[in-house]
Amino acid sequence: MPEIAIDACVFIHLLNIQEKNPDGHIDKLLSYLFKEGFMLLVDSKGKIAKDYAAQVIPMIKGGYEEGNQRILLTGWMLLDRHTTVESDPTDQLMTAIKNVIHEVAEHADRAFVYVACKSNSDLISNDEIHILGRRGDLLKAAKKVGYKNTAIVSSREACEGIA
């Protein structure tokens, strides 16, 4: 099955119809990827699962969404839709990523980039500060240590790629 890394902020932006998802492109993207059988990449250290548990799961449990959006969020968060990538916080790839995303508190952001690169998959993120704003540097750093088959794109860019 194909694999993809999706930053928690993309799931959060699914519900932000005023600013981040006024045209429903995130609904379209997540629906397409789910129907195509994509597996969600997570790290073996639990950084991504912790981020989802803190930010996405409460949206499902709290009833912040209804209908198709709730179904999408619930479907993506099911464990049988996840592929775990063995993570080593001391390997060359993580060291390279840490040199670009150097902020101490950004464990999950580093993990999203790591699992995408490590599995030669793509990362969808709407994090303008730590990921999209640094994607050139992140991809260059990953390439220097042998990982060159990853794209880092926004949800809008990813949606345009499937249109």
Q: Which CATH number fits domain 3-162: 3.40.50, 2.60.40, 3.20.20, 1.10.3470?
A: 3.40.50
3-state SS string for 11-46? HHHCCCCCCCCCCCHHHHHHHHHHHCCCEEEEECCC
d(CA 151, CA 37): 19
Domain limits, the chain = 3-162
Dump pLDDT digits (tens) for 110-148.
999 999 999 999 999 999 999 999 999 999 999 999 999
CB-facing half-sphere around the CA of 145: CA atoms within 13 A: 17
Q: What is the pTM of this model?
A: 0.94
Q: Is 34 exposed, middle or buried (0-12, 13-18, 19+ CB in 10 A)?
A: middle
Under a CB-based contact definition with an 8 Å cutoff, are residues 157 and 103 in contact?
no
Instruction: Extract the residue ranges of the chain whose pLDDT is less than 70.
Output: 63-67, 79, 163
